C-alpha cells in the first residue's frame, strides 16, 4: 500500500481504456481515495463508483476555470485535503503545420496546457497548507522528439509546454514540499489511438521499440504511482520516460 489514505485527483480519468482510469485503478489498489474528474459525457461518477464507495466522480472541463474550481471545492468538501494531482486530460489531432487552424490550436493547447495550469492553481493552496503534495502531468514523447506518431505540431508544442510548466512549478513549490513532475509516454494503446492505426501499422511501430511492444495503460499507471508515492520523495522537476526505449536521450 504505497498511497494509503492519500487523496488523488485525476483529470480525464473516466476513459475506460485510458491512462487516467488505469492510474485511478492502481492508485485505489494502493489505498488512495480517488477522484475522477472528466467531461459529463465520459460519466465520471459511474467510473468512480466502479472503484468503490470511497471514491468520487466529478464533472468538470479542465479548460473552464469556474468548473475546475467547483470540482476542486467538491474534493476538499468531501475529503478535506488533496495529496496527488494527475493532470492527465489531453486531446490530439493529426495535422500538418500549415493546416492547423486557430481553433485546432486553441483546442489542443487548452486541454493539455491551460487545463494543467488551471487545475494546478486550484489545488496548490491546499497542498501548500498541508506542506505536501505531488503534481504529475502527462507530457508525451512527442514533445521530446518533435512529433509522436499521431499528434500534430501543436500537440508537440502543448506537451513541450507541459514540461516547461512542470519545471517552473517544481522550482517554485519545492520549498512547500510540493513535488511537480511529468511523464512522457511513448505510444500507448488507448482510445486516443483507436481507429487511427491499423494492426499492421502498430506492429511496424512495435518493431522499432527496443522492448518490441507498444505500451499498455498499466505501464503509465505504474509510473504515476511511483511519482505520487514517497518512493520518489527526492524527485521534482523530472520527466519520467515511459516509452519502451522508443526515445533514449
Ligand atoms: P483518452 O482519450 O483515452 O483519455 C483522455 C481523457 O481526457 C478522456 O476521458 C476525455 O474525456 C478527457 N478529456 C478530454 N478533454 C477534457 C477536458 N476539456 N476536460 C476534462 N477531461 C477531458 O487518452 P489517453 O491516451 O488515456 O491520454 C491521456 C493523456 O496521456 C493525454 O494527455 C494524452 O495526450 C497523453 N498521452 C497519451 C499517449 C498515448 O499513446 N495514449 C502518449 C503520450 C501522451
30-44 pLDDT per residue, tens: 999 999 999 999 999
The CA 199 to ligand 1 mean position distance, Å, reads 21
The CA 206 to ligand 1 mean position distance, Å, reads 21
Decide: 3 in ligand 1 pocket, CB within 6 A: no
Q: Of 133, 149, 131, which Cα lies nearest the Cα of 141?
A: 149
Q: Would you say residue 65 has pLDDT above 90?
A: yes
Q: Quick one: pLDDT at residue 158?
A: 98
Nearest ligand 1 atom, CA 155: 34
The separation between CA 126 and the C-alpha centre of its own chain, rounded to angstroms, equals 20
Q: Quick one: pLDDT at residue 136?
A: 99
Helix axes 65-79, 115-130, angle to 10 degrees: 30
> What CATH number corresponds to the domain at position 224?
3.40.50.720
Residues of the chain above pLDDT 70, percent? 100
Decide: 185 in ligand 1 pocket, CB within 6 A: yes
Q: Would you say residue 150 has pLDDT above 80?
A: yes
Decide: 61 in ligand 1 pocket, CB within 6 A: yes
Nearest ligand 1 atom, CA 19: 26
Q: Does 249 reside within a domain?
A: no
Question: DSSP state, 74?
Answer: H
- Catalytic annotation on 79? no
ipTM value of the model?
0.99
Question: What is the rounded CA–CA span in Å between residue 171 and residue 80?
Answer: 26
34 within 8 A of 8, measured Cβ to Cβ: yes
Q: Does 66 reside within a domain?
A: yes
Nearest ligand 1 atom, CA 15: 9
Q: Does 142 reside within a domain?
A: yes
Q: Does 163 reside within a domain?
A: yes
Q: Of 75, 63, 45, which Cα lies nearest the Cα of 119?
A: 63
Q: Which domain holds residue 166?
A: 7-242
Q: Quick one: pLDDT at residue 198?
A: 87
Question: What is the rounded CA–CA span in Å between residue 96 and residue 136?
Answer: 29
Q: Does 247 reside within a domain?
A: no
Q: Which residue has the cell 517544481?
A: 170
Which residue, judged by its Cα, is nearest atom 2 of ligand 1? 192
Q: Does 132 reside within a domain?
A: yes
The CA 191 to ligand 1 mean position distance, Å, reads 8
Q: Does 248 reside within a domain?
A: no
120 within 8 A of 52, measured Cβ to Cβ: no
Which residue, judged by its Cα, is nearest atom 36 of ligand 1? 140
For the chain, the domain total comes to 1
Which residue, judged by its Cα, is nearest atom 32 of ligand 1? 90
Q: What is the pLDDT of residues 66-111, one digit of tens each?
A: 999 999 999 999 999 999 999 999 999 999 999 999 999 999 999 9
Rg (CA), the chain: 17
Q: Would you say residue 193 has pLDDT above 90?
A: no
Query: Per-residue confidence at 194, pLDDT binned at 50, 70, 90?
Result: confident
The CA 64 to ligand 1 mean position distance, Å, reads 17
136 within 8 A of 145, measured Cβ to Cβ: no
Decide: 88 in ligand 1 pocket, CB within 6 A: yes
The CA 238 to ligand 1 mean position distance, Å, reads 21
Amino acid at each position: 500500500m504505497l498511497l494509503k489514505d492519500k487523496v488523488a485527483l485525476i483529470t480525464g480519468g473516466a476513459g475506460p481504456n485510458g491512462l487516467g482510469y488505469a492510474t485511478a485503478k492502481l492508485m485505489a489498489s494502493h489505498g488512495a481515495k480517488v477522484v475522477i474528474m472528466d467531461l459529463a459525457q465520459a460519466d465520471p461518477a459511474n467510473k468512480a463508483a466502479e472503484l468503490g464507495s470511497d471514491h468520487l466522480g466529478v464533472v468538470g472541463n479542465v479548460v473552464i476555470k469556474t468548473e475546475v474550481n467547483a470540482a476542486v471545492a467538491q474534493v476538499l468538501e468531501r475529503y478535506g485535503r488533496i495529496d496527488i494531482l494527475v493532470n492527465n486530460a489531453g486531446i490530439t489531432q493529426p495535422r500538418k503545420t500549415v493546416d492547423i487552424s486557430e481553433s485546432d490550436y486553441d483546442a489542443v493547447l487548452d486541454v493539455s496546457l491551460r487545463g494543467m495550469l488551471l487545475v494546478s492553481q486550484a489545488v496548490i493552496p491546499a497542498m501548500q497548507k498541508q506542506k505536501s503534495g505531488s503534481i504529475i502531468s502527462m507530457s508525451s514523447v512527442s514533445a521530446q522528439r518533435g512529433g509522436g506518431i499521431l499528434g500534430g505540431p501543436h500537440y508537440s508544442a502543448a506537451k513541450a509546454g507541459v514540461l516547461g510548466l512542470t519545471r517552473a512549478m517544481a522550482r517554485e513549490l519545492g520549498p512547500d514540499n510540493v513535488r511537480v513532475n511529468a511523464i512522457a509516454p511513448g505510444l500507448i494503446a488507448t482510445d486516443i489511438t483507436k481507429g487511427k492505426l491499423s494492426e499492421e501499422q502498430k506492429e511496424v511501430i512495435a518493431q522499432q521499440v527496443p522492448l518490441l511492444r507498444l505500451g499498455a495503460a498499466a505501464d503509465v499507471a505504474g509510473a504515476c504511482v511511483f511519482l505520487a508515492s514517497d518512493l520518489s520523495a527526492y524527485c521534482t522537476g523530472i520527466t519520467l520516460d515511459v516509452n519502451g526505449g522508443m526515445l533514449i536521450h
